[in-house]
C-alpha cells in the first residue's frame, strides 16, 4: 500500500495544500474519485472560484455551496461543492445569534457584507468552518478539501485564530464598549482613535462598522468555541495533509516551506504529490543519428530526459526534508477538463509508477 492509499483508506479529513497553479483542485477531485471507488462516502470541497473542479467533474451547471452527488462507478459516493464564503458566514451568524432580530441586524449591515466577502482570512476561516460542518455531517465519512490559493496556503490552519484575534482586538473592544456601558449611541467624536480612523475612511463607513460591532455583541463566545473545535479537528490523528507541488523550483520552495510549517505545528505530511512532471522516456539509445529526421527524434527524447532529470533534482530537497517519496503525476498531452481525464489522473496517482513513464 502506498502512502496515498493509506491516506485515502484511513483519514476522515484530507487537506490538500500547495501554491497556486500546481493542480491542487484536480488532485483533490482525483483523490475523492479513488476514495469513492473504494467504497467511501466522500465529499470534495473546492475553494477555487475558477470553477475548475466543476469543469473537471463535468458538472453541467457548475458547483454550488451545497454538495452535489456525482454519478461515478463503484460502491462509494462522491459529492462535491464549491465554498461560498459569504453564505457560510451568514449561516454561522444565524447559528450563533441570540435571536432572529440580532441575525437580521448583522446580515443587513453594510460593514458585515464587506467583511463576509473580504476580511483577510475570512475565506480561509470559512473553509475550515465548512470542513468541520461536513465532518459532522452523517452523509459523509471522508472530507477532502482544497486550500485557498493564497501565497501562504497554511493560513487555513491559523484562520480560526485570526478571527478570534480580531474579536480580541483593542479596537473591537473599544467599539464594543459603549454598548457594554449601556449607551445607545456611540459618538465617533468621543473617541480620538475613532476620529482618526474616520478622517481616513470617512465617517459613514465607520458608522456602519460601529453598528456591526454593536450588533455582534454577545456572539463572540459562540464564534470562539466553534473556532476551537475547528482547530482540534485540524490537529486530529485522522486529519491528513497532502502536499501538492509541481517540479518548478518556486513551487518546490513553497512546498518545503509548507512542510516545515506543518512539522512546526506538530502535523505530519501524509503524502507528497508532484504534478505536471515531464514524462521521462529514458536516455535515447546509441549515437545521435546523422539523418535530420532521426536526429530530431533523438534530440527530443534527450531533451525530455534532461528536463525530467532536472525536475527530480529539484524535488530532492523536499524528499530529504519530509522523508516522503513523492507520487509523480506526469504532464498529460492534453488538459484535464472532463471526468475521463480526471479518472486518468486518478489511475496515475494510485497505480502509476513513481518514475512517471506514462504517456498517452
Residues of this chain, 259-298, that bind another protein according to CB under 8 A:
279, 281-282, 284-285, 291, 293-294, 296-298
DSSP secondary structure letters along 114-139? HHHHHSTTHHHHHHHHHHHHHHH-TT
Question: How far apart (Å, rounded) are the C-alpha atoms in residues 250 and 253?
Answer: 5
Question: How far apart (Å, rounded) are the C-alpha atoms in residues 290 and 71?
Answer: 54
Q: Tell the residue number behind the cell numbers 472560484, with chain if given.
A: 49
Q: Which is nearer to another protein, 75 or 282 (CB)?
A: 282
Q: Which is nearer to another protein, 90 or 298 (CB)?
A: 298
Give the count of beta carbons closer than 10 Å to the beta carbon of residue 300: 12
In the complex, the smallest distance separating the C-beta of residue 253 from another protein, rounded to whole angstroms, is: 8
Q: Which is nearer to another protein, 21 or 39 (CB)?
A: 21
Q: Which is nearer to another protein, 118 or 225 (CB)?
A: 118
Residues of this chain, 141-170, that bind another protein according to CB under 8 A:
149-151, 166, 169-170
Q: Which stretch binds another protein (CB under 8 A): 47-55, 78-86, 176-184, 318-326?
A: 47-55
Q: Which is nearer to another protein, 67 or 247 (CB)?
A: 247
Counting Cα atoms < 13 Å in the Cβ hemisphere of 110 gives 6
Question: How far apart (Å, rounded) are the C-alpha atoms in residues 156 and 146?
Answer: 10
Q: Which is nearer to another protein, 264 or 285 (CB)?
A: 285
Cα angle 59-63-64, degrees, rounded to a multiple of 5: 150
In the complex, the smallest distance separating the C-beta of residue 250 from another protein, rounded to whole angstroms, is: 6
Question: How far apart (Å, rounded) are the C-alpha atoms in residues 52 and 297?
Answer: 35
Question: How far apart (Å, rounded) are the C-alpha atoms in residues 258 and 101?
Answer: 43
Task: Tell me whether strands 269-277 and 239-245 are parallel, antiparallel or unpaired.
Answer: parallel
Q: Which stretch binds another protein (CB under 8 A): 45-53, 57-65, 96-104, 131-139?
A: 45-53
Asked whether position 61 contacts another protein by CB under 8 A, the answer is no
Question: How far apart (Å, rounded) are the C-alpha atoms in residues 344 and 36?
Answer: 15
Asked whether position 188 contacts another protein by CB under 8 A, the answer is no
Total residues in contact with another protein, by rule CB under 8 A: 71
Q: Which stretch binds another protein (CB under 8 A): 33-41, 46-54, 101-109, 229-237?
A: 46-54
Question: How far apart (Å, rounded) are the C-alpha atoms in residues 196 and 189?
Answer: 9
Q: Which is nearer to another protein, 98 or 295 (CB)?
A: 295
Query: Which backbone phi and psi does 16 adopt, to 5 degrees?
Result: -95, 120
Of the residues 15, 27, 44, 55, which one makes contact with another protein according to CB under 8 A: 55
Task: Tell me whether strands 77-82 and 142-146 are parallel, antiparallel or unpaired.
Answer: unpaired
Of the residues 189, 193, 263, 316, which one makes contact with another protein according to CB under 8 A: 193
Of the residues 199, 235, 238, 288, which one makes contact with another protein according to CB under 8 A: 199
Which residues are CB-contacts of 224 (< 8 A; sequence separation ≥ 6)? 164, 167
Binding mask 231-260 for another protein (x = CB under 8 A): ---------------x-xxxx-x-------
Q: Which is nearer to another protein, 111 or 140 (CB)?
A: 111
Asked whether position 202 contacts another protein by CB under 8 A, the answer is yes
| Contact in structure between 141 and 212 (CB atoms under 8 Å) | no
Residues of this chain, 312-351, that bind another protein according to CB under 8 A:
313-314, 331, 333-335, 337
Quickly list H helices, 169-289.
170-180, 192-201, 203-216, 220-234, 249-264
| Contact in structure between 349 and 271 (CB atoms under 8 Å) | no
Q: Which stretch binds another protein (CB under 8 A): 3-11, 70-78, 234-242, 309-317?
A: 309-317
Q: Which is nearer to another protein, 67 or 330 (CB)?
A: 330
Binding mask 120-139 for another protein (x = CB under 8 A): x-------------------
Amino acid at each position: 500500500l502506498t502512502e496515498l492509499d493509506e491516506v485515502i483508506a484511513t483519514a476522515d479529513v484530507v487537506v490538500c495544500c500547495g501554491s497556486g497553479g500546481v493542480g491542487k483542485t484536480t488532485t483533490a477531485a482525483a483523490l475523492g474519485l479513488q476514495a469513492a471507488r473504494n467504497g467511501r462516502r466522500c465529499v470534495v470541497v473546492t475553494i477555487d472560484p475558477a470553477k475548475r473542479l466543476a469543469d473537471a467533474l463535468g458538472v453541467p451547471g457548475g458547483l454550488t455551496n451545497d454538495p452535489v452527488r456525482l454519478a461515478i462507478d463503484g460502491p462509494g459516493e462522491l459529492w462535491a461543492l464549491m465554498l461560498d464564503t459569504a453564505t457560510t458566514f451568514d449561516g454561522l451568524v444565524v447559528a450563533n445569534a441570540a435571536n432572529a432580530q440580532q441575525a437580521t441586524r448583522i446580515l443587513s449591515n453594510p460593514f458585515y457584507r464587506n467583511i463576509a466577502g473580504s476580511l483577510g482570512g475570512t475565506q480561509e476561516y470559512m473553509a475550515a468552518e465548512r470542513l468541520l460542518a461536513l465532518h459532522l455531517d452523517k452523509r459523509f465519512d471522508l472530507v477532502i478539501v482544497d486550500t485557498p490559493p493564497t501565497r501562504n496556503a497554511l493560513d487555513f490552519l491559523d484562520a480560526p485564530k485570526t478571527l478570534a484575534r480580531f474579536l480580541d482586538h483593542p479596537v473591537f473592544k473599544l467599539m464594543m464598549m459603549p454598548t457594554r456601558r449601556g449607551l445607545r449611541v456611540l459618538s465617533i467624536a468621543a473617541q480620538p482613535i475613532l476620529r482618526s480612523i474616520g478622517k481616513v475612511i470617512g465617517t459613514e463607513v465607520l458608522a456602519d462598522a460601529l453598528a456591526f460591532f454593536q450588533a455582534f455583541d454577545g456572539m463572540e463566545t459562540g464564534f470562539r468555541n466553534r473556532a476551537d473545535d475547528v482547530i482540534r479537528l485540524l490537529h486530529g490523528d485522522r486529519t491528513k495533509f497532502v502536499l501538492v507541488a509541481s517540479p518548478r523550483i518556486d513551487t518546490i520552495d513553497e512546498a518545503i516551506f509548507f512542510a516545515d510549517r506543518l512539522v512546526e505545528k506538530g502535523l505530519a505530511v501524509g503524502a507528497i504529490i508532484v504534478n505536471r512532471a515531464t514524462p521521462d522516456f529514458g536516455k535515447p539509445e546509441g549515437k545521435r543519428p546523422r539523418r535530420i529526421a532521426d536526429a530530431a527524434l533523438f534530440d527530443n527524447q534527450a531533451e525530455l530526459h534532461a528536463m525530467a532529470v532536472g525536475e527530480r533534482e529539484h524535488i530532492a530537497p523536499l524528499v530529504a526534508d519530509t522523508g516522503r517519496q513523492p507520487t509523480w503525476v506526469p504532464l498529460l498531452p492534453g488538459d484535464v477538463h472532463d471526468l475521463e481525464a480526471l479518472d486518468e489522473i486518478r489511475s496515475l496517482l494510485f497505480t502509476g509508477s513513481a518514475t512517471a513513464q506514462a504517456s498517452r
